[in-house]
């Protein structure tokens, strides 16, 4: 009998659309010849408002690639939202979040494949829910997911592991918004410790959302205020001039590192627009760096993976300061972009693991982690 894979996608984060594309690529890989006899897909689409949809509605989102928002007051979908056969929609297709525990389709899942990027999916919240459901799932658990999402916690773990990184300061929203006397002092400290340019980031986001580069006091103040609108926790980092290299990790207790890839672009930094506009960035795989740098990055990627207690998969991002030969760790992503053109699966393809084989391995890793004694 086939293993029923609960593909969980969409979600309430700014990376909703990316998640749909990742899920489409994974669904295709699960239906590929070598996997089709092993796995059956049960799609669960999470709307932007957090409601879970199941059955043929999720399937249609998967097929169309278009986000869907069924109105809360009138859950009966409009004809034009779902196409001609929307009349077949049953109540079982609209699982409101408050009913998630009982629907039969959730109970049928043998293993979950959450492919949600950013907050409410990559950060340990959904992992906590799946842990409570006592069904194995792909990827990191609660701790690894939360540590990987919060850049302050992540950097503390990296520092503890002895991994080199840029200078940074952790900032709380209250230092920006609450007390008018504190804010100028905070900016003074940032100028003194980090200087310009510096990068201001909401601690718990992805896809460069809310990230700004500041070259002056004025830009710093604006960026801090803006970042505070995204998150209570904010991180400010010294800016470096560096090449951007990424490495993929796969495994549980004996993880493996992929070949190293490079991101190239001509914009100021790798911001949201550069990430998601066709042709604005290029992936170079393998990166043209020395074997020594490659090995150093692979080693650091595995150390970072262990430092935050990641599991299954992660993409680790680095800065290679060519002028000094220094390799600095930037961050780890525990549920990296997983579309057909995303760095994570492409790094594995160049390391000899095809996309269908990769999703198969990830599901087996989820089952393996579950079967180890608690």
Among the listed ranges 34-42, 168-176, 181-189, 333-341, the one in contact with Mg ion (CB under 5 A) is 333-341
Q: How many residues of this chain interact with ligand ATP, rule: CB under 6 A? A: 18
Based on CB atoms, which residue is closest to ligand ATP, 196 or 269?
A: 269
Per CB under 6 A, 223 contacts ligand ATP: no
By CB under 6 A, name the one of 100, 177, 183, 269 that touches ligand ATP: 269
Per CB under 6 A, 317 contacts ligand ATP: yes
Instruction: Please name the residues in contact with 233: beta carbons below 8 A apart, sequence gap of 6 or more.
Output: 150, 152, 170, 171, 172, 173, 202, 203, 204
Question: Tokens for 27?
Answer: 């669904």
Closest CA to 44 of 105, 118, 86, 98: 105
Based on CB atoms, which residue is closest to ligand ATP, 110 or 231?
A: 231
By CB under 6 A, name the one of 206, 261, 311, 345 that touches ligand ATP: 206
CA distance 125 to 128: 5
Residue 67 near residue 108, CB atoms below 8 Å: no
Closest CA to 274 of 209, 340, 200, 339: 209
Among the listed ranges 164-172, 184-192, 206-214, 274-282, the one in contact with Mg ion (CB under 5 A) is 206-214
Among the listed ranges 108-116, 135-143, 235-243, 296-304, the one in contact with ligand ATP (CB under 6 A) is 235-243
Site string for Mg ion, 17-36 (x = CB under 5 A): --------------------
Based on CB atoms, which residue is closest to ligand ATP, 243 or 361?
A: 243
Per CB under 6 A, 52 contacts ligand ATP: no
Cβ density class 353-370: b for 16+ within 10 Å, e for less: bebbbbbbbbbebbebbe
Which of ligand ATP, Mg ion, none sits in contact with 205, Cβ below 5 to 8 A by type? ligand ATP
CB atoms within 10 A of CB 100: 16
Which of Mg ion, ligand ATP, none sits in contact with 208, Cβ below 5 to 8 A by type? ligand ATP
Bridge-based pairing of strands 198-202 and 233-238 is antiparallel
Based on CB atoms, which residue is closest to Mg ion, 93 or 262?
A: 262
CA distance 297 to 310: 17
Per CB under 6 A, 333 contacts ligand ATP: yes
By CB under 5 A, name the one of 144, 148, 206, 356 that touches Mg ion: 206
Q: DSSP letter string over 280-345?
A: SEEEESS-S--HHHHHHHHHHHHHHHHHTT--EEEEEEEEEETTTTEEEEEEEESS---STT-HHH
Instruction: Please name the residues in contact with 107: beta carbons below 8 A apart, sequence gap of 6 or more.
Output: none
By CB under 6 A, name the one of 67, 75, 128, 239 that touches ligand ATP: 239
Question: Tokens for 65?
Answer: 């690639």
CA distance 114 to 101: 17
Helix axes 182-193, 217-228, angle to 10 degrees: 120
Which of Mg ion, ligand ATP, none sits in contact with 347, Cβ below 5 to 8 A by type? none
- Assign 3-state DSSP to the chain and report helix, strand, coil percentages, each to 5: 40, 25, 35
Per CB under 6 A, 327 contacts ligand ATP: no
Per CB under 6 A, 196 contacts ligand ATP: no
Site string for ligand ATP, 137-176 (x = CB under 6 A): -----------------------------x----------
Site string for Mg ion, 271-310 (x = CB under 5 A): ----------------------------------------
Binding positions for ligand ATP, rule: CB under 6 A: 166, 199, 201, 205-208, 211, 237, 239-240, 244, 269-270, 317, 330-331, 333
């Amino acid at each position: 009998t086939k293993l029923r894979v609960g593909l969980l996608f969409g979600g309430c984060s700014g990376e909703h659309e990316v998640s749909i594309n990742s899920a489409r690529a994974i669904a295709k890989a699960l239906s590929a010849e070598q996997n089709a006899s092993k796995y059956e897909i049960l799609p669960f689409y999470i709307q932007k408002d957090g409601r879970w949809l199941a059955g043929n509605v999720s399937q249609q989102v998967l097929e169309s690639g278009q986000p869907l928002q069924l109105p809360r007051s009138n859950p009966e979908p409009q004809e034009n939202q779902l196409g001609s056969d929307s009349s077949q929609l049953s109540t079982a297709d609209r699982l409101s979040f408050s009913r998630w525990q009982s629907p039969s389709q959730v109970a049928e899942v043998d293993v979950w494949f959450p492919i949600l990027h950013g907050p409410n999916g990559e950060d340990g919240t959904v992992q906590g829910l799946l842990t409570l459901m006592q069904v194995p799932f792909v990827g990191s658990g609660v701790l690894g997911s939360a540590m990987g999402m919060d850049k302050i916690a992540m950097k503390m773990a990296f520092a503890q592991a002895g991994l080199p990184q840029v200078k940074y300061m952790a900032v709380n929203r209250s230092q920006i918004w609450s007390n008018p006397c504190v804010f100028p002092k905070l900016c003074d400290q940032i100028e003194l410790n980090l200087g310009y340019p510096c990068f201001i980031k909401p601690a718990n986001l992805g896809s460069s959302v809310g990230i700004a580069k500041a070259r002056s006091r004025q830009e710093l103040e604006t960026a801090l205020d803006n970042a505070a609108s995204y998150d209570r926790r904010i991180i400010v980092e010294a800016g470096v001039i560096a090449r951007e290299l990424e490495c993929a990790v796969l495994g549980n207790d004996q993880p493996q590192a992929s070949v190293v890839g490079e991101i190239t672009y001509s914009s100021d930094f790798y911001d949201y627009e550069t990430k998601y506009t066709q042709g604005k960035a290029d992936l170079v795989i393998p990166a043209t760096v020395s074997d020594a740098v490659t090995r150093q990055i692979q080693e650091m990627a595995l150390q970072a993976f262990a430092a935050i207690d990641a599991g299954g998969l992660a993409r680790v991002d680095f800065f290679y300061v060519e002028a000094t030969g220094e390799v600095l760790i930037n961050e780890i992503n525990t549920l990296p972009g997983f579309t057909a053109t995303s760095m994570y699966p492409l790094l594995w393809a160049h390391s000899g693991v095809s996309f269908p084989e990769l999703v198969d391995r990830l599901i087996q890793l989820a089952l393996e982690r579950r079967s180890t004694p608690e």
